[in-house]
Structure 1
Amino acid sequence: MQAAYIQRLQKIEAVLEAWLPTEPSQEWIKNVFGTLTEKDIPAGLVQSLTRPGKDLLERGGKRWRPLLMTLICESLGGKEEALPLVPLVEFPHNGSLIHDDIEDNSDERRGKPAIHILYGLDTGVNSGSFLYFLPLACLAAWEAPDSRKLQVMQCWAEHLRRIHLGQAMDIYWHRDFSSLPSEALYEQMCRLKTGVLARLAAELGVYAAANRVTFPPEQSEHALRTAFGEAAESLGVGFQILDDVKNLTTGNPGKKRGDDIVEGKKSLPIILYLQEDPRRIEFVKRCFSAARAGGTAVPEVEELIGELDATGVIERARKRGYQLIHNAIETYKKEQSPLIQDEEAHHLLIEMVSLLG
């Protein structure tokens, strides 16, 4: 099974390389920027735009969203029809990471200096935004009817707007130490900020499959996209919750344990901790303030983590994350069973989702 994943991930990387190459060719420049030629663009200018995003991609990343999309498409009989759409999911994800690090004043991403630290704030903002719009070039090149391209573009654009709304919610809460969202609002923020790209991946997988196969009348394409999309959205929320738990326990790869406290992030453990006793808000605010001023090295970071662990809220959050991922697994097992045309891809899909937990 490991070889099956590697084979698919290699194809995903090849598509990403084609649309964000190390050395952009004249053909690439024409496909992305239209009639501009090397005479219109000074040497090295294009790389100044593409290199920061390429740097972030080269640092790694799980690529589970494009893998989810391609496996859904394969499971439904679409074979590799979704591969050309990989940039629509992975490029905006990386663009959002660049912008997220700027907005959170983070200094590290995937084990190296954050993009805006390495290349400058202005270049970071510009290159991050470029990663949102570059995928439209690959959509234009996709061999599909214009009507289906329009559907995919509308789906993509709606989800890109939603991810910015989710980020706005996150910024609003972490700027004000006194504000405390409810557990339901926190999950809604996660659905918009993190779950939205997983949902986009799942829906694009169905769109791509439908470009090659015809679903039976009793199972409409819209209903299938909704079921798969909602499950993927829950998967994304579960993944985010577990990511927040890791930040307070083992630490996330390429980041520092307690970074979320420095950012003043209202993660699920913090919300559960304060819901149990709202009077704890002054203690949390003191720890957040000290962390923002002194970073993860200040004693208040470990003091707060110790309190969260002792009250059991970290474990409660972990269980909620696992529950959401389990729910997604059950949906993919149930919803796909009558429509499966590729049993290997279906098995790989279920296994991959399980491994995220």
Structure 2
Amino acid sequence: MTALPSAAEVRQAIQGCLLSALPRPETASRPELAQFARMLRDYPERGGKMLRGALLVYTGLAYGAALEQLLPVAAALELFQNWALIHDDIEDGSDERRGKPALHRIYGVPLALNAGDALHALQWGLLVQAGVPQGVLLEFVRLVERTAQGQHLEIAWMEGQRLDLTEADYLEMVGLKAAYYTAVAPLRLGVLVAGGEPPQAFEEAGMKLGTGFQIVDDVLNLKGDPAKYGKEIGGDLWEGKRTLVLLHFLRNAGPEERQRAERLLCLPRPQKPAAEVAWLHHRLISSGALAYAERVAEGFLEEGLGRLRPLLQEAPRRAFGARVVELLEGLVRREA
């Protein structure tokens, strides 16, 4: 039986495969293209937990795939994550990513946008060069399309100053934007690379787990450790994100507090008074809205894992299946 690689070994192997697919500054023919290469390598070289890539690898190993088959697909999934983050940071006007200034804050929007486009192309190049089955390519099409739909919903709500949204609206948006590519796609891709047909429960349970992951991310944006979180604490408030925490607060706030919060949220970021953002930040915590979101996330985690544990315990390589469960628990029960 294949030896069980540690999470650190898997992350290192994925990052090595990913970086080997990117241009190197020292081989560029001119200074401008050396800058281009540095930009493409910037987010990948900042690190990250590579949870999605590791989840894909361990799932594939559990269902009989070889590590060398899985690495380029995991690296392509992490490339998707990186180019999507570059675009997301531009669209949200974010200041930070992984503890450093966002790429567009360093190089400007046009160059950062172009770098994201190049990483998108290289994602497909990795998959084609690896000769993956058509099902893997179609799964990547599906995850890119769903993520873009969710991103459109979120941006449209902010630009349209929508504050009449419900918890169901939020869950639909998160299911499209984050849950599918965070948990469902890695599980399905691992089985597809192994030559199998992913069980339907992988999608149903993965949506629960991926949704829980995003809710926890929303919570950490308000109370996370800045040294570990890697993004601006309170950034969702400055950007006007319609999170579960915020929607729960608005639904239960008195008329005066709700009006005050809505006035703030309808302002563009540069016009938001810092004191008002601090007030809303405090109220989201003290009102119990944040604690409510934590309970919802925990419920999604338990429901998702309850569906997946029996399947993974019956995987052809059970030790790898157990590692998948550990990673999934880490998606929600995390501090950064």
**TM-score normalized by the length of structure 1:** 0.83
User: Which shows bigger deviation, 113-122 or 274-283?
Assistant: 274-283
Aligned counterpart in structure 2 of residue 270 of structure 1, from 246, 257, 264: 246
Partner of 1:255: 231
Aligned counterpart in structure 2 of residue 173 of structure 1, from 143, 147, 157: 157
Gaps of 5+ in 1: 26-37, 216-220
Closer, same or farther: CA 50–325 of 1 in aligned 2, 3 Å: farther
Partner of 2:17: 15
Aligned counterpart in structure 2 of residue 197 of structure 1, from 160, 173, 181: 181
Partner of 1:218: none
2:232 is paired with a residue whose SS is coil
Contact 2:150–2:175 (8 Å) recurs in 1: yes
Partner of 2:112: 124
One-letter code of the match for 2:160?
D
Q: How does 1:74-85 map to 2 (within 5 A)?
A: 74-80=61-67, 81-85=69-73
Contact 1:251–1:258 (8 Å) recurs in 2: no
Partner of 1:35: none
Q: How does 1:54-203 map to 2 (within 5 A)?
A: 54-80=41-67, 81-144=69-132, 148=133, 150-198=134-182, 199-203=184-188
Q: Distance in 2 between matches of 1:268 and 1:83?
A: 35
Could you tell me how far 1:44 is from its partner in structure 2?
Answer: 4.5
Contact 2:18–2:76 (8 Å) recurs in 1: no
One-letter code of the match for 1:122?
P
Closer, same or farther: CA 57–285 of 1 in aligned 2, 3 Å: same
Q: Distance in 2 between matches of 1:207 and 1:104?
A: 33
Partner of 1:283: 260
Partner of 1:314: 290
Q: Distance in 2 between matches of 1:194 and 1:77?
A: 27
Q: Distance in 1 between matches of 2:236 and 2:176?
A: 19
Gaps of 5+ in 2: none
Contact 1:291–1:300 (8 Å) recurs in 2: no
1:90-132 Cα distance to aligned partner (Å, 9 max, x none): 1111111111111111121111111011112111111112222
Partner of 1:237: 211
Could you tell me how far 1:49 is from its partner in structure 2?
Answer: 3.5
Partner of 2:328: 353
One-letter code of the match for 1:312?
G
Aligned counterpart in structure 1 of residue 38 of structure 2, from 44, 51, 55: 51
Could you tell me how far 1:24 is from its partner in structure 2?
Answer: 7.9
One-letter code of the match for 2:192?
Y
Could you tell me how far 1:254 is from its partner in structure 2?
Answer: 2.2
Q: How does 1:288-307 map to 2 (within 5 A)?
A: 288=265, 292-293=269-270, 298-307=274-283
1:62 is paired with a residue whose SS is coil
Closer, same or farther: CA 263–12 of 1 in aligned 2, 3 Å: same
Identity %: 29
Q: Distance in 2 between matches of 1:328 and 1:49?
A: 41
Contact 2:167–2:247 (8 Å) recurs in 1: yes
Q: Distance in 1 between matches of 2:176 and 2:45?
A: 26
Could you tell me how far 1:316 is from its partner in structure 2?
Answer: 0.7
Closer, same or farther: CA 271–260 of 1 in aligned 2, 3 Å: same
Contact 1:238–1:321 (8 Å) recurs in 2: yes
1:118-158 Cα distance to aligned partner (Å, 9 max, x none): 112111111112222212111112245xxx2x222122112
2:58 is paired with a residue whose SS is helix
Q: Distance in 2 between matches of 1:235 and 1:5?
A: 19
One-letter code of the match for 1:110?
R
Contact 1:165–1:193 (8 Å) recurs in 2: yes
Q: Distance in 2 between matches of 1:278 and 1:137?
A: 53
What is the total number of aligned residue pairs between the two structures?
325
